[in-house]
Chain A
Amino acid sequence: MILFKLTQNELYKIFSLVRSYIGIILFTGIVPLILWGYGMGTSHIEGQIESSVSDMFFIEGSPTNGFTAAYFIMNFFWIHIPFLLALVGGDIFAGEHANGTFRVYATRPISRMSIFTSKVLATMIYTFIFVFYFGLLTLGLGLIWHGGGDMLVFHNGVLILESSDALVRFFIAYFFSFMNMVLVSSIAIFFSTMVRNAVGPVIGTMALFIFILMVSSLPLEVFEGIQPYLFTTYFSNWEQAFFDPIPWPDLFRGMGLVGSNIVMFLGIALIIFRRKDILS
């Protein structure tokens, strides 16, 4: 019960901050713009696809439909969303330190563990809402704007997914994307427990993310041995949801590594927070 109340408080605090809406406002503006641009610029792509595969397959609907548009947008944004999530996760502890509100909040008869758990839960709920909204906007608006139909995926040739199958695969893709974004939020929380200002954790999260992303994507032999152990290696694993067949072992292996990183970052953050003297 106390955890429910504390989480309710944390969500109230998150959604009272303007920064929590920056990403949502940004996507609300840019996704329709991309969908509009997508509609304007795909007629020649559509013609090429139809001419190359129409003698082999019957494609229901337009090949550049809402599914393909959503897939296109997902490819584009998975690297930008972490920054927007870090704005909230990075503030969750450090913001209270900076404002001095921990001095009031933490004197209540509640354990540090409860405060920590509620803040983590609230951040994860925010992350879910963010990913859900992103999915709803890209897929929902994409389908309304460009219609449904079969989805074309170019992976080891051309894969045509029926619309019902495509929808299921999008849910799978969004689930794995959500897990990746939970990891980003966990890193932001980790940095947030370490410092007393809200800017540091955002910069720290992005610096770590970019650094590991570079190491995991550099095609250098020296890094090949460690790349399977870097979480960013699996940040595009959601694409595998559109392969045929879906490589479940690979997907779960990636999720295992992402999950273990989440546990590690949150575990260290908990230890730091429980031992932290609130002096500000």
Chain B
Amino acid sequence: MTETETTTPQSIDPIPGDQGSPALACYGISKRFKSIQALDDVSLSVPRGSIFGFLGPNGAGKSTLIRVVAGLIAADKGHFDILGYSSLKGHGVRKDMSALVDRADFYKNLSAYQNMKILGRITGHDSNEHINRLLDLLGLYDRRKDKVKTFSQGMKQRLGLAQSLLPDPKLLVLDEPTTGLDPQGMHEIRDFILKIAAEQNVTIFLSSHLLHEVELICSDIALIFNGKLAAQGSMQNIFREIDNVTIELEVEDSKTTLAFLEKNDLVTQITPLANAISIEIHYNRIPELIRLMSAAKINIFSVSQRNRLENYFLSLMEGK
């Protein structure tokens, strides 16, 4: 684990529903599928009110942990608490949680409304007003009577989010929610996640291998490799750890700028791009470089930091 690690959850039985307990706390969860150790003693803590990104490459164990928490698979070892309720006490642990695991699939021969009705009935959240409000929130109200088999994947994903909000959850677990969506669909889902986190006071636990997506919306993250947790903490703390970052400069005169940068010892790596120049620099020295460039009368149109999380992610992977 890196220094960004937050306190590892202690295996004490919290007070049920205790407001001070984390939204999700996992204690030493392990799961093996035949010869593959999918999860190896994973412990993590998701603070209440956060948008928590759970990162890892494909096959790292993200979906396995989410399926354990969602009740789809049983862990070989370990347990978890959701909002202070322990999984050791049965399926009631998920009473304030909702999940969208993997791709959203529904009863295709039923309409969006009928699917919502079936799922809402389980927890007693199946009033017409509630269902229609959620369908409206996700932009599906006009298509509520259409069979799901006529929906695009993006619409199904939005319906997946609508159904996940049916029981008014306090913890929403989303497993790669933008997978299979086009850029516009991804953008819509991201906006929606930010919206519900802010407006409905929902903690969001989000798995993804799209680092840019996580960087855009998450306040806290955890990283998993080969079934083992590699790091966890707030995004701010993670970024503080990063020394060198990659930034892209959009300038008026690329040739002059390149010549300037090559002579400058603040920059450790220079890569000319089609419409910009990518440089690697120590995070704290970015303002100094900009000052020097201005003094050298280099017209800068934009300075954008790229792949901050990706750099961190790759450095961790290289260290493994």
Contact = CB atoms under 8 A, between A and B. Distances in A.
A110 B122 contact: yes
A252 interface: no
A105 interface: yes
Contacts of A13: 107, 110, 118
B71 A106 contact: yes
Contacts of B107: 13, 16, 99, 101
A107 interface: yes
B72 A107 contact: yes
B170 interface: no
A147 to B, nearest CB: 42
Contact of A103 (B94, B102, B109): B102
B289 interface: no
B105 interface: yes
Given A5-B121, A277-B72, A107 B105 contact: no
A107 B105 CA distance: 13
Contacts of A110: 91, 122
Contacts of A18: 109
Nearest to B100: A104
B90 A111 contact: yes
B140 interface: no
A76 B139 CA distance: 54
B122 A100 contact: no
B118 A278 contact: no
Nearest to B106: A101
Interface string A46-88: 0000000000000000000000000000000000000000000
Interface residues of A, number: 28
Contacts of B72: 102-103, 106-107, 277-279
A222 interface: no
Contact of A107 (B99, B109, B114): B99
B119 A105 contact: yes
B105 A104 contact: yes
Nearest to A98: B105
A40 interface: no
Given A8-B121, A16-B107, A100-B103, A111 B91 contact: yes
B274 to A, nearest CB: 41
A279 B118 contact: no
A44 interface: no
Contacts of A107: 70-72, 94, 98-99, 101
Contacts of B74: 275, 277
A108 B105 contact: no
Contact of B105 (A9, A12, A99): A99
A104 B103 CA distance: 10
Interface in A5-26: 5-6, 8-9, 12-13, 16-18
B232 interface: no
Given A17-B109, A103-B101, A108 B118 contact: no
Contacts of A105: 119, 122
Nearest to A13: B107
Interface string A105-134: 111111110000000000000000000000
B123 A9 contact: no
B122 A108 contact: yes
Contacts of A12: 114, 118
A111 to B, nearest CB: 5
B73 interface: yes
B109 A109 contact: no
A101 to B, nearest CB: 6
A2 interface: yes
B122 A9 contact: yes
A272 to B, nearest CB: 13
Which 3 interchain pairs have the tightest Cβ spacing?
Answer: A100-B105, A277-B73, A278-B72
Given A99-B108, A106-B70, A277-B67, 7 more contacts: A6-B122, A101-B107, A103-B72, A107-B99, A108-B167, A109-B92, A279-B73
10 contacts: A13-B118, A99-B107, A99-B108, A103-B102, A104-B100, A104-B105, A105-B122, A107-B94, A277-B74, A278-B73
